[in-house]
């Protein structure tokens, strides 16, 4: 929170300069249902630390969590500074009609467009935390320990958190053709270990959030061209909104499964001739929120970093980048813009005010009109702190025409 000193050119001497963070004012946080506390409270911590007042509009799809937030926040935080307004899209729309100083929206790209359009009316800046398709590049790992660890992490990132209903969940995997059957066998064995013979009976696989999303996912899987590529799982129970962890190998790239964000427990595996082809594959698609790569090949890592663009890159794990508050969290391109977490949240909700402070003692006479070449020459040499140039110009020994 303390001011940060800024360097100035010599010509500004004697002047001090610094930047001071000031609160933006009134913040609106609209969050999605799948991390109802984190996505609501984490922005509030930074916004309040930066001196703002905040209104949180949690999701109607997690009504119990939203009600709990609405009950607890006024008990523990100053209700004049932080308010929870639970409600659906209509409530969100009413809030968007008001003037805010910044809006942080977490949700789908479609609603992100609505938020941005509403904010534009008041010239309100926005941070959009959206989703998309996060790929996992799965290179051949020679050590069996590495392979086992990577498969565990891949599965946890796909089926573990909210059964894939997470913005940074692995959406699909890219694997070399010659290694795909080995990977599928390993995945099947590990799924059994993690979720049992009958995953529906175990409470470790989250249910799909509502009927609408369940039907959307069933439609993705029900596409005959996709269905025929299922190599594991594929069962569901509509009554319990349950979908079994499911793996497909090489579903058509133009199917909705491969063009839309999955946000559910399907893991399509796309095979490539060479793992390096994954770079072109990723580049040919919208920029993801996260890229994951399981590999020990430093050259491949370097290429992924320099040739692709994404909100984040994590090597040899997935989702864990979310918990590092020293790393900014946010998307790029279609996965959103703006970044937060830790100190970055404070910065996002602050305006960095530039402050310059001067005394009256020294003044450079050549800054004032009427201007001539001599004065402008002095400006030039003084700006560069060219002491010899200054002396020569003052003595009239250095003359150059300034156009």
Ligand X SMILES: NC(=O)c1ccc[n+]([C@@H]2O[C@H](COP(=O)([O-])OP(=O)(O)OC[C@H]3O[C@@H](n4cnc5c(N)ncnc54)[C@H](O)[C@@H]3O)[C@@H](O)[C@H]2O)c1
Task: Tell me which residues touch ligand X (CB under 6 A).
Answer: 30-35, 39, 57, 59-61, 88-89, 92-93, 96, 106-108, 111, 114, 129-131, 167, 261, 263, 289, 336
Give me the catalytic one of 42, 127, 129, 261.
129
Residue ranges with strand state E in 221-330: 230-232, 236-237, 242-243, 246-249, 266-272, 290-294, 312-315
CB of 89 to ligand X, least distance (A): 3
Judged by beta carbon, residue 46 or residue 92, the one nearer ligand X is: 92
Helices and strands in the chain: count of H runs, count of E runs: 14, 18
Give me the catalytic one of 127, 134, 162, 167.
167
Give one word for 168, left, alpha or beta, with left for phi > 0 and alpha for psi -120 to 50.
Answer: alpha
Whole-angstrom distance between the N-terminal and C-terminal Cα of the chain?
45
C-alpha pair distances (Å), 58 with each of 46, 63, 90, 108: 17, 9, 13, 14
CB of 61 to ligand X, least distance (A): 6
Q: How many residues does the structure list for the chain?
A: 403
SS3 64: helix
Judged by beta carbon, residue 23 or residue 328, the one nearer ligand X is: 328
Judged by beta carbon, residue 129 or residue 244, the one nearer ligand X is: 129
Judged by beta carbon, residue 21 or residue 131, the one nearer ligand X is: 131
Indicate the residue whose CB is closest to ligand X.
131
CB of 340 to ligand X, least distance (A): 9
CA distance 234 to 372: 81
Which residue(s) pair with 27 in the sheet?
54, 102
C-alpha pair distances (Å), 112 with each of 89, 93, 119: 12, 12, 10
Judged by beta carbon, residue 131 or residue 135, the one nearer ligand X is: 131
Judged by beta carbon, residue 17 or residue 114, the one nearer ligand X is: 114
CA distance 256 to 266: 12
SS3 117: helix
134 annotated active-site: no
C-beta atoms surrounding 165 within 10 Å = 21
SS3 378: helix
Structure tokens at 203: 């409470």
167 annotated active-site: yes
Cα-to-chain-centroid distance, residue 259: 20
Residue entry with tokens 């059957």: 181
Nearest residue to 315 (alpha-carbon basis) of 331, 302, 306: 302
Judged by beta carbon, residue 12 or residue 89, the one nearer ligand X is: 89
* Edge-first strand listing for the sheet containing 290-294: 230-232, 246-249, 266-272, 172-176, 135-138, 290-294, 312-315
Which residues are annotated as catalytic?
A: 129, 167
């Amino acid at each position: 929170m303390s001011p940060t000193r800024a360097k100035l050119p010599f010509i500004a001497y004697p002047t001090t300069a610094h930047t001071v963070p000031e609160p933006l004012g009134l913040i609106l946080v609209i969050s999605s249902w799948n991390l109802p506390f984190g996505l609501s409270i984490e922005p509030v911590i930074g916004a309040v630390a930066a001196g703002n007042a905040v209104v949180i509009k949690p999701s109607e799809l997690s009504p119990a969590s939203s009600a709990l937030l609405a009950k607890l926040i006024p008990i523990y935080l100053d209700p004049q500074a932080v308010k929870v307004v639970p409600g659906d899209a209509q409530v969100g729309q009413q809030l968007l009609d008001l003037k805010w100083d910044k809006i942080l929206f977490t949700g789908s790209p479609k609603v992100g467009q609505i938020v941005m359009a509403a904010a534009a009316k008041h010239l309100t800046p926005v941070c959009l935390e959206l989703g998309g398709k996060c790929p996992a590049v799965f290179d051949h790992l020679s050590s069996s320990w590495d392979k086992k660890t990577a498969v565990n992490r891949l599965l946890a990132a796909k089926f573990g958190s909210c059964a894939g209903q997470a913005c940074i969940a692995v959406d699909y995997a890219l694997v070399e053709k010659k290694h795909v059957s080995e990977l599928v066998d390993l995945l099947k064995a590990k799924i059994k270990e993690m979720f049992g013979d009958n995953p529906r009976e175990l409470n470790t696989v989250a249910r799909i959030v509502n009927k609408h999303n369940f039907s959307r996912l069933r439609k993705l899987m029900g596409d005959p061209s996709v269905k025929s590529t299922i190599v594991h799982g594929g069962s569901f129970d509509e009554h319990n909104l349950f979908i079994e962890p499911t793996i497909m190998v090489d579903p058509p790239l133009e199917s909705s499964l491969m063009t839309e964000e999955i946000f559910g427990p399907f893991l399509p595996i796309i095979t490539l001739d060479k793992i390096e082809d994954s770079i072109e594959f990723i580049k040919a698609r919208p920029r993801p929120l996260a890229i994951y790569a399981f590999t020990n090949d430093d050259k491949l890592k370097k290429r992924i970093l320099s040739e692709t663009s994404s909100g984040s890159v994590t090597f040899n794990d997935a989702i864990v980048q979310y918990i590092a508050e020293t790393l900014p969290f946010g998307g790029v391109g279609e996965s959103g813009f703006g970044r937060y977490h830790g100190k970055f949240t404070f910065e996002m909700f602050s305006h960095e005010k530039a402050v310059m402070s001067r005394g009256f003692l020294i003044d450079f006479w050549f800054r004032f009109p009427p201007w001539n070449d001599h004065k402008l020459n002095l400006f030039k040499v003084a700006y560069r702190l060219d002491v010899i140039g200054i002396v020569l110009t003052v003595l009239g020994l250095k003359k150059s025409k300034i156009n």
